Amino acid sequence: MPDEKIHNLLSHIGGITKSYDRLNKLTGERLNLFSLLRKESDEVRLHSRFIAELLDPQGKHDQGSLFLDLFLEAFEIEDINSSTSKLHVEFYIGVISKDRKRGGNIDILIDDGVNCVKIENKIYAGEQHNQLLRYHNYKPGHLIFLTLYGNASTNHKELIEIDVHYEQRSYRNDILNWLSRCVEKVALIPNLRESIVQYQNLIKKLTKQNINYQMNSDITKKITDNQENFEAYLSIRRLENDNSIYKQIIKKTIIPFFEEFAGRNNLTPHLLEKSLLKERAQHSGFFFDNEFLRSIGLKLGVQFGKSNNRDMYYGLSFYNPSIQDSEFFRLVFDESKKILPKTRRTDWWLTSNYWDEFLDWSDIDTLYNIAYGSFKIEFEENMCNLLRLVESLYEKTNSAN
């Protein structure tokens, strides 16, 4: 009987999802250019730049200070002169000092020559050490911490204690309200209006206010409709809690994908089952290599900074960190920035990048996106690009010698 209850519940939910799938097709909401370009959570290259472009009186929108004035009004900022304001993205304020109290890059800076607005923009990425303190110390002005839901800084208590005040603002309310005002003002300029509407829809998706969120609400009502449905739901939840779903997805979908990826690219996979199924310890990981990579002491690696496959990062790692100091490796690191924009170099990694959308593999939504979303395409593309980069630079370096 429990199996029948689960089957009935899944049938009901399947009917709801099909209805909303038809609605998505009618509205065209799934066709979002920002999502299509796979940059929907990129803080710097999408969100900061798009927002700053609208705010810039000299922007290509040709609306002068219209959007900036609407922003200042929506955010209740009265001491900025929009006619003299300049906009900056990733504004460099100096080398980060040893005490970590000065320097860095401000995501968005609005500066009228006298007063300024400093915006720290966070979608999924974590805060850097003393980030808001460093921006506060740059120069007096409004300091805004912009997150999806208006969260406080992880250092909120410490900041208040040292008299560093900042505003908590959200994409969910503040940015969407501002964008709505912008759309109203440019209703008769189709291309500009639709660009802003597309961005609005992306924000609604990221903050769970789109059609899919409404679908989730209907599913919730169905689950809580009666005791039988709720018991069936609990049975499904218990599968999630004991990692049964994780294990099946990894065995049937993820590991076979990595093995196929290796076969397609003449690579050998290592430690897949150990890191993804057996141990799942902190700093566990798996890697791919071939004769060429081994000959130069490198491997294509994936590692997890925390246990249970959380904090995923990937890139090129060393077999032996003592061999890392060479002109070839320095060249590879510099060129890898085109593939891994937030790359970092450590004793064990020549170049590596956290993957914000897929950080936590123990999360059921992340697991779904890894199995059935864009992960597989992006993973193969990025890893192959790294492999081709190493091969081409090695060939150029050797031919030059």
Q: In angstroms, what is the C-alpha Rg of the chain? A: 24
Which ranges in 56-189 belong to alpha helices (H)?
Answer: 66-74, 131-138, 156-161, 176-185
Question: The whole model's pTM is what?
Answer: 0.51
Long-range contacts of 170-175 (CB under 8 A, 24+ apart): 170/146, 170/207, 171/146, 171/147, 171/203, 171/206, 171/207, 172/148, 172/203, 172/207, 172/209, 174/74, 174/75, 174/146, 174/150, 175/51, 175/146, 175/203
Chain center to CA of 134? 23
Q: 3-state class of 142 per DSSP?
A: strand
Q: Which fold has domain 244-400?
A: Yope Regulator; Chain: A, (3.30.1460)
Distance CA 147, CA 156 (A): 14
Sign of torsion, CA 32 73 152 116? positive
Which of 17, 6, 41, 73 minimizes the C-alpha distance to 378? 41
Do the beta carbons of residue 355 and residue 313 sit within 8 Å?
A: yes
**Which residue, chain included where needed, has tokens 């679908």?**
215
Distance CA 231, CA 355 (A): 36
Distance CA 253, CA 322 (A): 37
DSSP annotation of 271: S
Distance CA 130, CA 142 (A): 17
Helix pair 375-400, 364-372: axis angle to 10 deg? 60
Q: Kindly list the domain boundaries of the chain, sorted by start residue.
A: 2-27+212-239, 33-209, 244-400
Distance CA 82, CA 58 (A): 11
Long-range contacts of 89-93 (CB under 8 A, 24+ apart): 89/44, 89/48, 89/49, 89/52, 90/44, 90/48, 93/134, 93/135, 93/138
The pair of structure tokens assigned to 82 is 């929009």
The pair of structure tokens assigned to 121 is 């923009």
**pLDDT tens, residue order, the chain (401 aa):** 456 655 565 565 556 455 545 545 544 444 445 544 446 555 556 788 889 999 999 998 999 999 999 999 999 999 999 999 999 999 999 998 888 899 999 999 999 999 999 999 988 777 888 899 999 999 999 999 999 999 999 889 899 999 999 999 999 999 999 999 999 999 999 888 888 888 888 888 888 775 555 666 776 776 677 777 676 666 666 655 557 788 888 999 999 999 999 999 999 999 999 999 988 888 999 999 999 999 999 999 999 999 988 899 999 999 887 665 688 898 999 999 888 878 888 889 999 988 888 888 888 888 888 998 889 999 999 999 999 999 999 988 877 65
